[in-house]
Structure 1
């Protein structure tokens, strides 16, 4: 009995010891350290909808479907492939077409073709003289009216007196004066007054170099345009031309001249705006020699005749060009509508460069035809070309007979 009691006590003690060890092990187990408090703002969720208590909804019975009744979702149709973007071909960049080369009108007889334009603006001179000469009695008053008519037409004092004296003598000797006789008489005297000059533009150089023509004149006379039209005249006569754009002070002057040249296939030598005109003129002649051109036309800057420095520079251009050879022509462009004022310009230019010929522009407008006589007498050089319109082929070689016929009519 005692033995059984001792066994029971031993068992109880063993169980107690074992329980203590388990409890002690559990107490020694360490929990993970607490996370530090977050600094992020606390987001408070909205209160949940009450679903308990009195506010809870009463559950509703829903019809249930069998497995057979449940329809599977239809398979999504395969997406159609995205249409390919059309291939856009880059447009080919075409090179600018060269301007079509024009064929200028022949110069022979050009003044005759333009006679109607000249006659419209000069009728007052020719018709007025014929009317006065047809009077039955040519007294002193009539001769004074004849003189006034000639002076009004810008013929000039000395040429007018010379013409009136010759007419008086011829009429006195002639006696009877029929309209045809008077017209023939007046025509002869006017042609004689215009003088017998060589009016061809010199483009034949004695040396193995191109003929060089320099065009000068004041601003506003149409000098650059005249240079371009002169290139057409020379091309029409079978010449090859190189243009020198030595007018570097007027905006777009070089562009204007180059456009004229491209129309007839003439190469234009140009430089920067405000560049040295003498250098460009020199290069133009050099280019003409390299291309074996027939003629080099040099357009100089339009200069006010009162600015001595600019006029001296024109002399420099002349000297530089002459290093290649002599200048064959120096043409002075005058606006015919300026009348006697044009003579002042002519005198100043003649002092700086040796003028060899005159180009009268705008002779078809309000110009007075007598300026042809006056400017020739002033400079002792001929009018070689006249401008009778704004068309590209309205620059014509001057022909005294055709000019007088246009003045006095048929």
Structure 2
């Protein structure tokens, strides 16, 4: 098997996809003890638990039993909070390079310099490349250019924002990927294989998105698990929202009652899955009213979350649901990782796989049940009915907008 070094491994979403494409993780590094224990319980990979800034590249290579230049690929997704979309909504900006966690980009580059893998892949939120706010991406590209001078390599980084649903993942999830080859070969990202729409109406060669029903249709609709029940102020309102809708249903532009102003909440507030569409992005640390929720008006189970992230069926979690959501919400969908790993093999490592069949592609379920029936709005929410102002700005939450006005004054 081809040899991979994995940084910021988390629950192993990238690694599991590379595993499906014939790579073996020779060493994995993560600071989180629950992630590390989860990895150890599922795979026999050498796992180093700790802050990467305190772990030398020599330690990594020794644990992997590799010398500089022998690793086929270095993979990793440095913590993305400094560049996240939710940061822009809540604060009017994300901390980006001002956040101490952004130093993880430097640590990734340090390991590239010292281990000199034949290829590298770095994943992050697409906020890393926002126009006018791309300091993180610039640091990576300039850092790789510096490595080429210092280590006599010829990495030519190519980056692109990919939506996982375009490659068969039953989830809309946009992330940036940076890929480079040590010998200067320029990576070409694979063209999408899936698109929104009916299969009969799509251009030749494209398949319809995989849906939430494809991923979850064989699992119990109402598992006997009290941890999946909604709590908090808005729990009683979710049953009145149709599948595929969020709180916007209860605005003057929706089909429900005028309980909120247009776009005055974050998009995932009271967001519910639709059986015939992909899931929306699974979040790592959602609030009590943050979706996506199951169409039966409950939280998603650990197995359902793993299905939407296309983790292998044999992968297990021995911790509570909140920790599972955190790990999976931070992970790369393993199927997307498999797609990219196969292309890295073919384009950059001259080791294409004979079979074109993707191991982690979910099955199709032909018969999709009708939408779940909605309930009337509980009387306790009727006091919210009235004229609510729309959101006053673009891409900012109400508190962030208020701060923006205070600064202007």
State if a TM-score over 0.5 links the two structures: no
Larger Rg: 1
Specify the TM-score bucket, using the shorter chain as the normaliser.
under 0.3
Q: Which has the higher contact order (CA 8 A, sep 6+)?
A: 1
Q: Give the alignment's TM-score, normalised by structure 1.
A: 0.26
Q: Give the alignment's TM-score, normalised by structure 2.
A: 0.26
